[in-house]
């Protein structure tokens, strides 16, 4: 490869951390004006490569060039050419939006002349102008992400490096974030990013699929999928939770994985497997599927025996209960004049997986904290595990399991020390603590790493340890606040398998999530917006009753180029990015012909067809109806 023809060029990069090889002789080239995605399991080496490109880490061997400048010998030129947005916010919460941007402009040494106009342009570009006087600490997660991006762009870089930029961001904010990225690329910027959302990876110009420090496949998403050689079947069923065990027994656990409201099966013989599935149950709806990146990702996870051992231990000693696990009436929380949660009514029986959805800042975490006894309600009443939310906060905290967005782990403690710490909080002692510690190490998969510092664990391992600590005392009610944010697909699948095991044994799991396919795994869902419950029901009911409109899917090259024009087609109410294509919400099915005609007239090859609505379609539709002017923050 010729380093001068690429915006980013890495040659034979190797980086080791003691016995772990994070980058193993990696070479790659990123073209000018493209979005290049690094994807792979937790610990694959994605963040290490981004930090090496950014000049934050020095490789053990190999060279990196950015815009033709050597990261070894031309530090200042490289620094001026790039902007790096890490996973953790670099914002100052007490400064306003404008003050944060101005601070970064000073750090980058941006000229004062014309700076005010440049910042104003960035605020318009990112839809942030209405909030320029608001403190960063008072912004929602989605707004913070956009502000962090604006701060990175203030010195007009040629290359933008993004490390999982949309983690913990709701679907509406993610969609807006990608509109901004496409605008940047249209203006000639080069973007290199890592992501845990594989539907986002499908939007990249090219991707590098990483595993164990190596790039094992590279090309456009379509090329990587085509070259994988995978054949897929999907199965929809009435009770997928119970069908899971049967399917895995018949086809093997490494060939079956849940995906939204269906199972996807790796097939070596499509005809034979389709026949087998049809004979297994008349309730199965079996269809051929085109592989997607998540299928390729899951095909890399060959050894499922460790996961099977973990699942067999999940519910050790947990007593089964029945009846109402929690019931609240008129639950309200105010902070001064601001109402964070407004008069919520909710009843959840034992053994139910109850999903809590909503945009960033909608009131999900506040509600969960009240139910866990961590925040006193302003008004309302309710009981959790038979205890009064107003009077028995300490008893509730001691009896339920709670895993917060920040994982609640102490990074300066070793793995086993975190377990012992939480065991002590929950009153476990001596032989009982030792027995439950062994159980937690098995559940988290960290038995051989129990003496490692928690700070070195990557996302998926850290989350499993946090979950094990939260249920160490065998609670019958567990609250999980965005527990899989940033985890790779394999870690998320195992996490939800653990949740299913808990529910099957009568444990209530109250979970919030921004992954809409995960919402499909819940028994019931509630959607909260600006502190109020605006919908509640089973996922299939929400999709059928809340989505009266039609969803038309469009698969076309560079879908972002057609969003604005398709909005003007008669009968089209909304156009949004969905995976590598578009989803159009229409008033009437006849609009499908108008959409197809739009592409025929322009002699553009496009696949246009009506599809069933996804939970993301429901989410986006309901939020836009509740917030038609897009003022949600």
Q: Is the pLDDT of residue 302 over 60?
A: no
Burial category of 343 from C-beta neighbours within 10 Å (exposed 0-12, middle 13-18, buried 19 and up)? middle
Within a domain: 304: no
Within a domain: 115: yes
For residues 405 and 407, the model is more confident at 405
What pLDDT does 308 receive?
Answer: 66
Residues 55-81 have a mean pLDDT of 91
For residues 298 and 336, the model is more confident at 336
In tens, the pLDDT along 577-624 reads: 888 899 999 988 888 999 999 999 999 999 999 998 888 888 888 887
What CATH number does residue 603 fall under? 3.30.70.100
Question: Alpha-carbon distance 174 to 251, whole Å?
Answer: 35
How many domains does one find in the chain? Answer: 4
Within a domain: 212: yes
Least confident of 339-348, 454-463, 511-520: 454-463
What pLDDT does 462 receive?
Answer: 85
Q: Is the pLDDT of residue 402 over 60?
A: yes
What pLDDT does 301 receive?
Answer: 64
Q: Which residues contact 592 (CB under 8 A, 6 or more apart)?
A: 550, 552, 586, 608, 609, 610
Alpha-carbon dihedral sign for residues 441, 445, 447, 450: negative
Last residue of a domain, one of 501, 536, 571: 536
The answer to whether residues 161 and 105 belong to one domain is: yes
Residues 413-431 as b or e (16 or more Cβ within 10 Å = b)? ebbbebbbebbeebebeee
For residues 476 and 297, the model is more confident at 476
The answer to whether residues 275 and 142 belong to one domain is: no
The answer to whether residues 516 and 595 belong to one domain is: no
The answer to whether residues 83 and 207 belong to one domain is: yes
Within a domain: 126: yes
Least confident of 30-39, 176-185, 267-276: 176-185
Q: Report the SS3 class of residue 18.
A: coil
The answer to whether residues 127 and 268 belong to one domain is: no
For residues 504 and 10, the model is more confident at 10
The answer to whether residues 215 and 173 belong to one domain is: yes
Q: Report the SS3 class of residue 502.
A: helix
What pLDDT does 540 receive?
Answer: 86
Strand segments, DSSP code E, in 488-571 are 508-512, 524-529, 532-537, 550-556
Residues 456-481 have a mean pLDDT of 87
What CATH number does residue 352 fall under? 3.40.50.300
In tens, the pLDDT along 215-258 reads: 988 999 989 988 888 899 999 886 666 777 788 888 887 788 88
In tens, the pLDDT along 26-54 reads: 999 999 999 999 998 877 889 999 999 99
The answer to whether residues 583 and 456 belong to one domain is: no
The answer to whether residues 124 and 81 belong to one domain is: yes
Percent above pLDDT 70 for the chain: 96
What pLDDT does 633 receive?
Answer: 46
Q: Is the pLDDT of residue 200 over 70?
A: yes
Residues 511-533 have a mean pLDDT of 89
Element of type H or E holding 408: none
Domain, as residue range, for 108? 3-225
Burial category of 396 from C-beta neighbours within 10 Å (exposed 0-12, middle 13-18, buried 19 and up)? buried
Within a domain: 319: no
What pLDDT does 406 receive?
Answer: 66
Last residue of a domain, one of 225, 247, 275: 225
Q: Nearest to residue 367, comparing CAs of 401, 386, 344, 338?
A: 344
Q: Is the pLDDT of residue 96 over 60?
A: yes
Round the average pLDDT of the chain to a whole number and report it: 87
Q: Is the pLDDT of residue 350 over 50?
A: yes
3-state secondary structure 435-498: HHHHHHHHHHCCHHHCCCEHHHCCHHHHHHHHHHHHCCCCCCEEEEECCCCCCCHHHHHHHHHH
What pLDDT does 306 receive?
Answer: 56
The answer to whether residues 559 and 456 belong to one domain is: no
The answer to whether residues 83 and 167 belong to one domain is: yes
Question: Alpha-carbon distance 633 to 628, whole Å?
Answer: 13
The answer to whether residues 79 and 165 belong to one domain is: yes
Within a domain: 566: yes
Q: Cα separations (Å) of 361 from 139, 168, 532?
A: 8, 11, 12
């Amino acid at each position: 490869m010729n380093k001068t023809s690429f915006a980013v060029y890495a040659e034979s990069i190797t980086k080791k951390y003691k016995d772990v090889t994070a980058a193993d002789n990696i070479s790659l080239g990123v073209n000018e004006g493209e979005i290049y995605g690094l994807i792979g399991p937790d610990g694959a080496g994605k963040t290490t490569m981004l930090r090496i490109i950014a000049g934050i880490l020095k490789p053990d061997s190999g060279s990196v060039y950015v815009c033709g400048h050597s990261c070894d010998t031309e530090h200042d030129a490289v620094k001026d050419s790039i902007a790096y947005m890490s996973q953790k916010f670099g914002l100052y919460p007490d400064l306003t939006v404008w003050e944060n941007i101005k601070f970064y402009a000073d750090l980058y040494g941006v000229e004062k002349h014309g700076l005010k106009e440049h910042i104003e342009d960035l605020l318009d570009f990112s839809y942030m102008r209405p909030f320029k006087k608001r403190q960063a600490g008072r912004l929602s997660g989605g707004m913070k992400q956009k502000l962090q991006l604006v701060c990175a762009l203030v010195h007009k870089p040629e290359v933008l490096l993004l490390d999982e930029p949309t983690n913990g961001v709701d679907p509406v904010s993610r969609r807006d974030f990608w509109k901004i990225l496409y605008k940047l690329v249209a203006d000639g910027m080069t973007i290199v990013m890592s992501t845990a959302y594989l539907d986002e990876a499908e939007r990249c110009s090219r991707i590098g699929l990483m595993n164990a420090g190596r790039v094992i496949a590279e090309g456009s998403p379509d090329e990587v999928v085509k070259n994988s050689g995978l054949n897929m079947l999907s199965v929809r069923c009435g009770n997928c939770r119970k069908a899971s065990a049967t399917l895995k027994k018949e086809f093997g656990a490494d060939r079956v994985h849940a995906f939204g409201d269906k199972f996807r099966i790796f097939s070596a013989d499509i005809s034979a497997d389709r026949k087998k599935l049809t004979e297994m149950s008349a309730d199965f709806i079996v269809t051929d599927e085109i592989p997607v990146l998540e299928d390729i990702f899951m095909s890399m996870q060959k050894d499922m025996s460790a996961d099977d051992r973990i699942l067999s231990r999940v519910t050790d000693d947990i007593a089964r209960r029945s009846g109402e696990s929690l019931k609240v009436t008129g639950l309200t929380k105010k902070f001064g004049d601001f109402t964070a949660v407004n008069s919520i009514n909710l009843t959840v029986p034992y053994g139910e997986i109850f999903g809590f959805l909503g945009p960033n800042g909608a009131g999900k975490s506040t509600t969960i904290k009240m139910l866990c006894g961590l925040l006193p309600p302003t008004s309302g009443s309710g009981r959790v595990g038979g205890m009064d939310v107003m009077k028995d906060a300490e008893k509730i905290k001691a009896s339920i399991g709670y895993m917060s967005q920040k994982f609640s782990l102490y990074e300066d403690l070793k793995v086993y020390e975190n377990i012992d710490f939480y065991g002590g909080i929950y009153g476990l002692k001596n032989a009982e603590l030792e027995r439950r510690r062994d159980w937690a190490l098995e559940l988290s998969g960290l038995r051989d790493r129990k003496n490692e510092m928690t700070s070195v664990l990557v996302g998926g391992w850290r989350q499993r340890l946090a979950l094990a600590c939260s249920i160490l005392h065998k609670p019958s009610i567990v609250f999980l606040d965005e527990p899989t944010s940033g985890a790779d697909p394999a870690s998320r699948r195992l996490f939800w398998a653990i949740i299913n095991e808990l529910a099957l044994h009568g444990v209530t799991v109250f979970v919030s999530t921004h992954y809409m396919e995960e919402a499909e795994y819940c028994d019931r869902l509630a959607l909260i917006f600006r502190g109020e419950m605006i919908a509640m029901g089973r996922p299939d009911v929400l999709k059928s009753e809340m989505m009266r409109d039609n969803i038309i899917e469009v698969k076309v090259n560079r879908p972002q180029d057609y969003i604005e024009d398709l909005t003007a087609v008669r009968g089209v109410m909304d156009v949004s990015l969905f995976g590598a294509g578009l989803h159009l919400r229409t008033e009437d099915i006849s609009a499908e012909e108008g959409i197809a005609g739009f592409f025929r007239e322009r002699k553009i090859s496009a696949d246009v067809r009506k599809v069933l609505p996804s939970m993301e379609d429901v989410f986006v539709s309901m939020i836009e109806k509740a917030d038609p002017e897009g003022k949600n923050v």
